[in-house]
Amino acid sequence: MTRPLYHQDSAALSFTASVQAVSDSEVALDATAFYPAGGGQSADHGMLRWDGVEAGVVDTRKDKGTGLIWHRLEGTPPAPGTQIMGEVDAARRWRHMARHSGEHLLAQCFVRINPAFAVDAVNMTHPECTLDLRGDPTETDVRAAETLLRETLARQTLTLDTPTVSEAELVNYPLRRETKVRGQVRLVIFKGEDGQPFDVSACGGTHVPQASLAAPMVVLRTERIRGGVTRVVFMAGEEASVYLGGIYRDSRALAQAFSVPVERLTERVEALRTDLTDSKVDAVGLRGKLARVLVEATSPDAQGLRWLELDDPSLLVPVLGDLPAGEVRVALAEDGRCGIASARTGVHAGELLRAALAVTGGKGGGRPELAQGSTLEPGGFLAAVRAGLTST
């Protein structure tokens, strides 16, 4: 069994130990500060050093059957009995501690907003962490929880306490959620200066020594993942700070491009969206007018077929509308997109298009009155349509 030093002090990242066992590129130690993946938290990385040799630790896992914690190394592992010095990657550990602490604190705030918002599942393996909650919290509930947490971290000093208690003693602690752990239970408690707990959870993960070190905390979005369960996506600590700083820089650059202050960027974008919508409406009207001009500039041939060649593929549909009775209209754009409209009894536009494409290559189809597609041989498309029309 490996003694988990991270349970004693999550901020202690250097240690000495001896190799208990070796398996391929993995070593098990008699004690370690490396946290193994579990509980929604990723494994620690770092270095092991011995006899002038060092090797990177790229994964850490716990064998629940034996209690051994295995460290996967880059390079040849040391032999059993070797004394090693271990050093956990500090930046990675502190990110993980902020994420995990943030999850506890945010979950507690949701429960305080509404006890129905109980945790269903968590994941802190990425900068964007997730908290799956029952009870269908609304956007108003989410912002209320976020505000409560922000005010709590700003106005209270919450320190970490991690006692290990017997299962019988759990009744003395206000656990946020029931634990399935039996026997000796490690608790993670963030409590105020008055000794009153803000959050109490049974947890084996690593956490920041003061709750304020998990700040800032920001909820990015929510997602309905299944009936009765809402996923809250959040960021915490240094990662949240870097993210928010990047968002501000990008927003400021965009605001400068639009010649407005950052606080008016949303207003400016909404105005541009309105202008764009109006422009699209105007463009549709203009395309309709141009389509009518193009149609009027041509005449049906002896077969009653009106043929149009287009520079702009967006005119394809407009020129194929409003056919007089008995007319068949064919349009071809420069890029090979094509269409046929039919107002003649016995001429099925979809069948006629498919017959022409069978000759010139491409694909398409449609209804009796309108069909669209794309041909691989634009030069032969009209002749193929004429041949198909003759055979109907």
Domain ranges of the chain: 3-88, 94-251, 297-391
| Per-residue pLDDT at 362 | 94
d(CA 143, CA 218): 10
- The 3-state DSSP class for residue 110 equals helix
d(CA 137, CA 107): 12
Nearest to 349 by CA among 389, 301, 380: 389
Interval 61-73 mean pLDDT: 94
Indicate if the pLDDT at residue 333 is higher than 90.
yes
Give the domain 297-391 fold.
Answer: Diaminopimelate Epimerase; Chain A, domain 1 (3.10.310)
**β-pair type (26-29, 46-50):** unpaired
d(CA 341, CA 349): 6
Give the least confident one: 26-30, 48-52, 174-178: 174-178
Indicate if the pLDDT at residue 228 is higher than 90.
no
d(CA 185, CA 187): 6
**Rounded to 10 degrees, what is the CA torsion of 20, 23, 24, 30?**
-30
DSSP 227: T
d(CA 103, CA 130): 8
d(CA 279, CA 43): 53
| Residue 75's pLDDT band (cuts 50, 70, 90) | confident
- The 3-state DSSP class for residue 17 equals strand
Interval 175-188 mean pLDDT: 89
* Residue 191, both tokens: 């409590």
The answer to whether the beta carbons of residues 323 and 341 sit under 8 Å apart is yes
* Residue 304, both tokens: 């009653």
363 phi/psi in degrees, rounded to 5? -150, 155
Interval 258-277 mean pLDDT: 93
Q: 3-88 domain in CATH 3.30.360.10?
A: no
Mean residue pLDDT of the chain comes to 94
Residue 279's H or E segment, with its range, is: helix 265-296
Tell the CATH superfamily of the 94-251 domain. Threonyl-trna Synthetase; Chain A, domain 2 (3.30.980.10)
Instruction: Find the length of the chain.
Output: 392
| Residue 82's pLDDT band (cuts 50, 70, 90) | very high
**Rounded to 10 degrees, what is the CA torsion of 46, 50, 55, 61?**
-60
The b-or-e profile of 153-187 (16+ CB within 10 A means b, else e) is beebebbbebeeeeeeebeebeebeeeeeeeebbb
Across the beta sheet with 305-310, what order do the strands follow? 305-310, 328-333, 337-342, 370-375, 362-366
| Per-residue pLDDT at 73 | 97
Tally of CB atoms within 10 A around 364: 18
Whole-prediction pTM: 0.75
At 16-33, the pLDDT tens digits run: 999 999 999 999 999 999
